[in-house]
């Protein structure tokens, strides 16, 4: 048991030296941040991964530790697409305004949850904004004592996208009055992920435009200003103010936080140009620079930030799974991680218990201790219909792939009935090689240079981890799990 925890802590610590400007490494899109005295908390999109909305803690805006999740169990009204959580505090209560897809009609709307703590114990209060075919990306602003909530509307309609606003009740749990337009996108180039600051005599509305996700992304951040909160807003002729730079591209969707010494920072996401969609939209920090002589702000990407670390006191908080297709059952017992669970009938892959990657160049290893008819081993999982892996099944080791509604065995070999170690070696050219070994033998290559470019999904990166496919009454037993960035 301790070995798994220690190894897991080590792989998280390896994240810290990967790239400049990295604040929270790995897939954490649409981040939101809040300061509580001298401590900062951040959360972000979890999409189709459970648990829901990971929470990170930092005392210096550089070193981040995951503390848990907003929800361990999905709110009753939701079915998926857990996007863009937004922190806010009213009195001594912490609020998370979040986007999710409604179970009854599959439309994305905005819900709200509250807690007396910024990193645990959130209680859901259901939908607060139900508007049109889609209402997403909540942001709350206090204008002289009057609370407002803003959001993106009409992204799925054949009409201009708008950023809308409404008065928010004093308890933060319902809107009041009619919605009003803050800014309209007549070009339909995209407008979302808004955040608002008041500086001197102007309200500055920062928003993201372009294609947010995937290989064809074009995201960037622009700004508009108005003398009144409700507008009209005038766009800056120097837009965008944050776009492709150095190792990063498609920057956008962030929230501001003031440091203890009064500097304003913007936590946002971007794709690393090198690893791209394989590490997803990672959280970066930029500094707000206000130009007194022009009256307009700029955003400057910060270098030399460290990445997220995990403490070794708990294994549970770091694992994630695709809640739409599987319900894993796992526990540490007698020095082994035992994995089983239920999977849906349309799931061609099986149970995948995964972690967030921070590189596209790593070795993934484990040891399968037990023998049964189930397939047990390692996977790199994009979706139930897009996955690849290596595992032990009976007296065979098998390298398998799920793609285009087909599950195939690429290569297989017989092994002795003893502990079998497995390895997947991921390379920056987006290919994987698969290895196994028994007893004290050297690694045997089962398959080499297998193309895995099909794995990433539109809005999330593939996850490496442990795999089980078999009868729910059986299980896989692993003596360790290790992810080493090369």
> Count of domains in the chain?
2
**pLDDT of res. 147:** 98
Higher pLDDT: 217 or 333? It is: 217
- CA 108, 114, 118, 122 dihedral sign is negative
CB 406 within 8 A of CB 385: no
Q: What is the CATH classification number for the domain harbouring 352?
A: 2.60.120.200
| Residue 403 and residue 279 share a domain | no
Q: What is the CATH classification number for the domain harbouring 39?
A: 2.115.10.20
187's CB contacts (< 8 A; 6+ apart) are none
**pLDDT of res. 12:** 32
Task: Tell me the CA distances in angstroms from 275 to 15, 115, 212, 358, one per residue in order.
Answer: 14, 36, 16, 9
| Residue 335 and residue 289 share a domain | no
Residue 239: exposed, middle, or buried by beta-carbon count in 10 A (0-12, 13-18, 19+)?
middle
| Residue 168 and residue 39 share a domain | yes
Q: Which of 277, 306, 335 is the last residue of a domain?
A: 306
User: Does 152 reside within a domain?
Assistant: yes
| Residue 293 and residue 339 share a domain | no
| Residue 238 and residue 321 share a domain | no
User: Does 4 reside within a domain?
Assistant: no
User: Does 10 reside within a domain?
Assistant: no
Q: Which of 246, 281, 306 is the last residue of a domain?
A: 306
User: Does 2 reside within a domain?
Assistant: no
Averaged pLDDT score across all residues of the chain: 92
**pLDDT of res. 13:** 28
**pLDDT of res. 441:** 85
Phi/psi zone of residue 295: left (φ > 0), alpha (ψ -120 to 50 degrees), beta?
Answer: left
pTM (predicted TM-score):
0.93
User: Does 363 reside within a domain?
Assistant: yes
| Residue 215 and residue 276 share a domain | yes
With cut-offs at 50, 70 and 90, classify the pLDDT of residue 416. confident
With cut-offs at 50, 70 and 90, classify the pLDDT of residue 99. very high
111's CB contacts (< 8 A; 6+ apart) are 75, 77, 78, 97, 98, 99, 100, 124, 125, 126, 127, 128
| Residue 211 and residue 84 share a domain | yes
Tell me the per-residue pLDDT of 372-388, one tens digit each, with 9 for 90 and over.
999 999 999 999 999 99
| Residue 256 and residue 139 share a domain | yes
| Residue 268 and residue 159 share a domain | yes
User: Does 441 reside within a domain?
Assistant: yes
241's CB contacts (< 8 A; 6+ apart) are 206, 221, 222, 223, 296, 297, 298, 299
Q: Which of 288, 306, 324 is the last residue of a domain?
A: 306
User: Does 374 reside within a domain?
Assistant: yes
Strand order in the sheet with 146-153: 135-143, 146-153, 161-168, 175-185
| Residue 299 and residue 320 share a domain | no
| Residue 280 and residue 366 share a domain | no
User: Does 11 reside within a domain?
Assistant: no
Residue 338's SS3 state is: strand
With cut-offs at 50, 70 and 90, classify the pLDDT of residue 16. very low
| Residue 183 and residue 158 share a domain | yes
Tell me the per-residue pLDDT of 145-183, one tens digit each, with 9 for 90 and over.
999 999 999 999 989 999 999 999 999 999 999 999 999
440's CB contacts (< 8 A; 6+ apart) are none
**pLDDT of res. 316:** 63
Annotated catalytic sites, by residue? 30, 192
Q: Whole domain around residue 298: which residue ranges?
A: 19-306
């Amino acid at each position: 048991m301790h070995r798994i925890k220690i190894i897991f802590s080590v792989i998280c610590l390896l994240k810290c030296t990967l790239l400049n400007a990295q604040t929270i490494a790995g897939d954490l899109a649409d981040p939101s941040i809040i300061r509580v005295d001298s401590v900062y908390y951040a959360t972000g999109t979890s999409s189709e991964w459970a648990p829901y909305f990971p929470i990170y803690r930092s005392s210096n805006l550089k070193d981040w530790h995951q503390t848990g999740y907003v929800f361990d169990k999905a709110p009753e009204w939701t079915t998926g697409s857990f996007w863009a959580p937004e922190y806010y505090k009213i009195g001594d209560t912490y609020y998370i305004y979040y986007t999710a897809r409604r179970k009854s009609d599959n439309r994305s709307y905005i819900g709200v949850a509250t807690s007396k703590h910024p990193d645990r114990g959130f209680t859901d209060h259901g939908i607060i904004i139900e508007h049109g075919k889609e209402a997403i990306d909540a942001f709350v602003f206090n204008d002289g004592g009057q609370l407002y909530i803003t959001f993106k509307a009409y992204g799925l309609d054949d009409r201009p996208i708008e950023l809308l606003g409404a008065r928010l009740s004093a308890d933060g749990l319902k809107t009041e009055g009619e919605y009003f337009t803050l800014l309209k996108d007549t070009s339909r180039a995209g407008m979302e992920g808004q955040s608002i600051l008041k500086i001197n005599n102007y309200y500055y509305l920062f928003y993201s435009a372009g294609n947010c996700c995937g290989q064809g992304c074009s995201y960037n951040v622009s700004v508009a200003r108005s003398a009144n909160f409700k507008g009209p807003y005038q766009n800056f002729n120097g837009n965008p103010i944050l776009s492709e730079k150095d190792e990063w591209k498609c920057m956008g969707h962030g929230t501001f936080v003031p440091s203890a010494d009064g500097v304003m920072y913007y936590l946002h996401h971007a794709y690393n140009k090198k690893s791209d969609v394989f590490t997803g939209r990672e959280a970066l920090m930029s500094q707000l620079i206000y130009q007194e002589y022009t009256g307009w702000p700029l955003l400057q990407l910060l270098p030399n930030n460290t990445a997220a670390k995990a403490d070794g006191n708990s294994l549970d908080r770091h694992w994630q799974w695709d809640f739409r297709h599987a319900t894993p059952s796992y526990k540490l017992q007698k020095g082994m991680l035992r994995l089983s669970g239920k999977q849906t009938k349309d799931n061609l892959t099986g149970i995948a218990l995964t972690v967030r990657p921070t590189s596209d160049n790593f070795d993934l290893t484990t040891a399968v201790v037990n023998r049964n008819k189930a397939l047990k081993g390692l996977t790199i999982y994009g979706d139930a219909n897009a996955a690849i892996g290596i595992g032990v099944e009976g007296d065979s080791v098998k390298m398998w792939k799920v793609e285009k509604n087909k599950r195939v065995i690429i290569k297989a070999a017989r092994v002795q009935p003893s502990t079998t170690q497995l390895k997947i070696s991921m390379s920056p050219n987006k290919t994987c090689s698969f290895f196994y070994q028994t007893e004290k033998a050297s690694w045997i290559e089962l398959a080499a240079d297998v193309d895995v470019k099909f794995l990433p999904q539109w809005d999330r990166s593939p996850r490496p981890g442990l795999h089980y496919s078999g009868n729910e009454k059986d299980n896989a037993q692993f003596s360790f799990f290790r992810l080493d960035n090369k």
